[in-house]
Structure 1
Amino acid sequence: MLPVFLLFALAAGAQAPSQLVVAMKKQYPGEKAVYLEMRQDLTVEIRNDSVQVLARHHADMLHLDEQSATYANDRVYSSHFNRLQKLEARTLVPNGEKFKTLRVSEFKDKFEMQAGVFFDDTRSTSFSFPAITPGARTVTDYTVRHVDARFVMPFFVGSYVPVRHAELTITAPKGVRIGYKIFHADPATIAYTKEEKGGQVIYRWTANNLPSPPRDNDAPEASYYLPHIVFFVQEATVNGQPRKLLAGVPELYTMYADFVRRIDRQPSPGLQHRVDSLVAGAQTEEEKVRRVYYWVQDNIKYIAFEQGLRGFIPHDAGLVYARRYGDCKDMANLTNEMLHLAGVKNAYLTWVGTRDLPYKYAELATPGVDNHMIATYEPTPGQYVFLDATSKHTPYGMPSAMIQGKEGLLGLDPQSSRVVDIPAVDKARSGRDDRSVLTLDGTVLRGTGKLSLAGYSKVDQSYGLDGLDRTDEPKYVKALLERGNNKFFVDHYSIANLDVRDQPLSISYDYRLQDYVQQVDDEVYVNLSLERPYATDRIDVATRKLPRYNEFAHTDHTRTELVVPAGYEVSYLPPSAQAQGEALGFKVSYERQGNKIIQDRELYVNYLLLQPAQFGDWNSVVTKLGNAYREVVILKKKRA
């Protein structure tokens, strides 16, 4: 019997180009292109003392309309662990009842420099397919050798265009035990077979007729929703002896602990002196930890490195201290080492998967589960303070926003580890508090007040304000304070606590807002909702399919006092309004105090990932919020 992939290949080749286009347009209406086939054939090999994987990749895309030319450019990645051995690419151009082959002849090889990464040994080989027209097929075949089987990448069954046939095959010696996990796919939609052939075991997964994924703004990373298979070598017989590779968290930590063991540790009297001076006079252990953490944040520049094993092994703490720069591993190791030098025993190196990754250690104990490293302090048993010095402005006691709700793998000692939960920070700890007094000057509204930013709201704006010059800072502050309309002007402002992490960032301000107040005859109309966040943020439940990502939960409070001008009285005061949803809520109240009208408003956003099942409730609150924002205060001239 012919393999499934060969049957599909023969079927595609048997159809005339025009017939194939018509058939695929009918099956996938409105799509620019379709993968006729995506295939990976992996062979696990025992080479001397190592377990390696040879991966053969094949992709065959059919272009369905003129806009598919955007897919003409492609690239293949390689690195120290994943070595490109062979690459061929070609366009199959319609030529009557057959296809004419045009081979790609120019390949450009370069280091792939990611944003924020100082040096990365990942290389990209880029190329462009010629003669892309409707009916053309672009075919890529390449082979990669993974010199360490623990670093094999997942196989994404789905893609950014529909996939007619996807197939993953793993061939391994009988002495190799393979594990796998399927994410975001009904197992019934992916056929799985396992057969023994001689001394080999062949594992095969196939899936057919996969639609293109939704394309929604503010969606999580593709690994949160695209169907994919993560496979890993659990155990292999090497030199006649069984060797566990990725059988669970203990084996994963054994690998990480080995990376830490390889740190080239050197004595550093300068580092010890620095620690001694930092913690001198500290009354508590927590104060020691806080001082060390803030010093690393302030004095070590975050520059990422990803070069072979250097992507996993930190530099020596003394070297990082002397250089004053490092990546997340270097900063975590320096923080951890400084705490130990300060006499803090319960400090641990910690591996973390940021929110870019959806996995938990219990479901996937491979290097693909995490991508970040921090230090953790345990002041009392079971209580943890997560110290991510790469997040420069994050205060002590809060994890960086990008690791909220995730897990940390604590390295307790060279042999033992512990997986702990990293909490999502409560909405009350982050947000804006804006208090202002408004006066009327004709149709001009003048305001004096103070904006305070706490938690992650402060972290965000501190990054924005940090290092701005006298030209850019006023522009940034104006954008931050802007309200009412586009005739908003900041006359004066002052900033406090930008570099004081344990205090809210505050901006005192005076502003003018022109042509905002409406005056009709003897009545003045003032809408005190000068800022209207989420007023139009309805989610189209008919079209949006993916969850919506949010960086952090927060609660914003606004208190606006309007001074009633002499000669006027209050004709209309809006009623109070509120709505309390799981992910979004608000309450607005108005009251008269002496010659002032006070609007007090609180609004919270309480989610990190808003699921489609919550969209209806979200929209209900948005509707009520929009109605509340439209309410106006009416002042009327007093009669003589």
Structure 2
Amino acid sequence: AVQLNGQWVFLDATDPHCIFGYPTDAIQNKQALIAINENKYELVRVSTMPATASKVIDSTFIHITPEGIKGNMVVHYNGYFGNELYDALMYKDSVGTADYVKYKLGKASNKFKVSTYEIIKANPLLREAIIKGNYEVPDYVKRAGNEIFINLNLEKFFNGPGIDTAKRMMALENDFHYTIEQYHILHLPQGYTASYIPKNFKAENDLLRFEITYEQKNNQVICHHTIQVKYILLQPNRFTDWNNIVKQLVAQYKEQVVLTKN
């Protein structure tokens, strides 16, 4: 540890991709005993990085095809997300890298396929990276008569029944605070208009914040989804608070855009 401008900065020689100024995620909010000299010690609390320090920004462009959907995507990673990506790619061969990219980009359904991709290590010092890819997902949209139904929440981060408060007695751990922003941009097929676009919705407590907005611009419908997780250790007495806000999010995941043929 070194003190800079009155603040302790923790370095970890066991993490080859640790970002300077970020403590290793596993020691966030832990107590650290620092030897000032042979006679003096200081007990300090390791800082927790805010949710804005680790972000994923995902722009996915969607075209409806007779088989399903296809398009391209550009995903930016920084903070602990970038650190994880650099660590994961360090020892992977071409096959392992391709599998990892599919895992990172995968959304919509388990039929998701990546045809081509590019990994850009935009700033190795700050562990910033970008993955670009072309994808397709068969059988994703639903058709009925002259209407097409598509759910623009392609990636559902919390989509289960929540924490079982009757069975789980131990705290739930999260590696770090984070923010994910997704822009799912649907190009309207020729001859179709958007006859139904879901309403915007947001909710927040001290554990989780999310907001889903929809906007039509010319021949595009844009779904902007922001999610921010703000806990490291979720204690059992907060499970109900977590479940209540996640329940609202899961309800929004069911919303679909309806396209009608002119």
CA distance in 2, matches of 1:586, 1:531: 14
Q: Which of 360, 379, 402 is 2:4 aligned to?
A: 379
CA distance in 1, matches of 2:64, 2:190: 10
Amino acid paired to 1:637:
K
Correspondence 1:48-67 to 2 at 5 A:
none
- 1:537 to partner: Cα distance: 5.1
Amino acid paired to 2:103:
A
Matched, 1:600 2:231: no
For the 8 Å contact 1:394–1:501, the answer to whether it is kept is: no
Structure 2 equivalent of residue 529 of structure 1: 153
- 1:452 to partner: Cα distance: 1.2
Amino acid paired to 1:620:
N
Structure 2 equivalent of residue 579 of structure 1: 203
Q: Which of 492, 498, 504 is 2:128 aligned to?
A: 504
CA distance in 2, matches of 1:490, 1:544: 37
Matched, 1:486 2:110: yes
What's the TM-score once normalised by structure 2's chain length?
Answer: 0.95
Which of structures 1 and 2 has the bigger CA Rg? 1
Deviations 1:58-116 (A, max 9, x none): xxxxxxxxxxxxxxxxxxxxxxxxxxxxxxxxxxxxxxxxxxxxxxxxxxxxxxxxxxx
Amino acid paired to 1:547:
A
Q: Which of 89, 92, 95 is 1:465 aligned to?
A: 89
CA RMSD of aligned residues (A): 1.4
Deviations 1:345-383 (A, max 9, x none): xxxxxxxxxxxxxxxxxxxxxxxxxxxxxxx22222x21
For the 8 Å contact 2:79–2:126, the answer to whether it is kept is: no
Matched, 1:565 2:189: yes
CA distance in 1, matches of 2:125, 2:229: 23
Structure 2 equivalent of residue 456 of structure 1: 80
Matched, 1:411 2:40: no
- 1:414 to partner: Cα distance: 2.4
Gaps of 5+ in 2: none
CA distance in 1, matches of 2:120, 2:165: 43
CA distance in 1, matches of 2:107, 2:224: 16
What's the TM-score once normalised by structure 1's chain length?
Answer: 0.40
For the 8 Å contact 2:117–2:131, the answer to whether it is kept is: yes
User: Which secondary structure state, in structure 1, belongs to the residue aligned with residue 7 of structure 2?
Assistant: coil
For the 8 Å contact 2:31–2:46, the answer to whether it is kept is: yes
Matched, 1:430 2:54: yes
CA distance in 2, matches of 1:499, 1:472: 22
Amino acid paired to 2:52:
A
User: Which secondary structure state, in structure 1, belongs to the residue aligned with residue 148 of structure 2?
Assistant: strand
Structure 1 equivalent of residue 71 of structure 2: 447
Structure 2 equivalent of residue 614 of structure 1: 238
CA distance in 2, matches of 1:615, 1:627: 18
Deviations 1:467-518 (A, max 9, x none): 2111111011111111111221101111111770315221011101111011
Amino acid paired to 2:141:
V
Deviations 1:420-477 (A, max 9, x none): 2211111111132111211111242112121111211222232222221111110111
Amino acid paired to 1:399:
P
For the 8 Å contact 1:443–1:519, the answer to whether it is kept is: no
CA distance in 2, matches of 1:453, 1:446: 22
CA distance in 1, matches of 2:123, 2:77: 13
CA distance in 1, matches of 2:67, 2:125: 40
User: Which secondary structure state, in structure 1, belongs to the residue aligned with residue 4 of structure 2?
Assistant: coil
Correspondence 1:54-93 to 2 at 5 A:
none
Q: Which runs of 4+ in 1 moved over 6 A?
A: none
CA distance in 1, matches of 2:205, 2:160: 16
User: Which secondary structure state, in structure 1, belongs to the residue aligned with residue 143 of structure 2?
Assistant: strand
Gaps of 5+ in 1: 1-375
- 1:618 to partner: Cα distance: 0.7
Amino acid paired to 1:388:
D
Identical residues among aligned pairs (%): 31
Q: Which of 19, 22, 25 is 1:398 aligned to?
A: 22
Q: 1:393 to 1:499 in 2, by over 3 A?
A: farther
For the 8 Å contact 2:141–2:150, the answer to whether it is kept is: yes
Amino acid paired to 2:182:
T
CA distance in 2, matches of 1:536, 1:578: 19
Amino acid paired to 2:94:
R
Q: 1:505 to 1:474 in 2, by over 3 A?
A: same
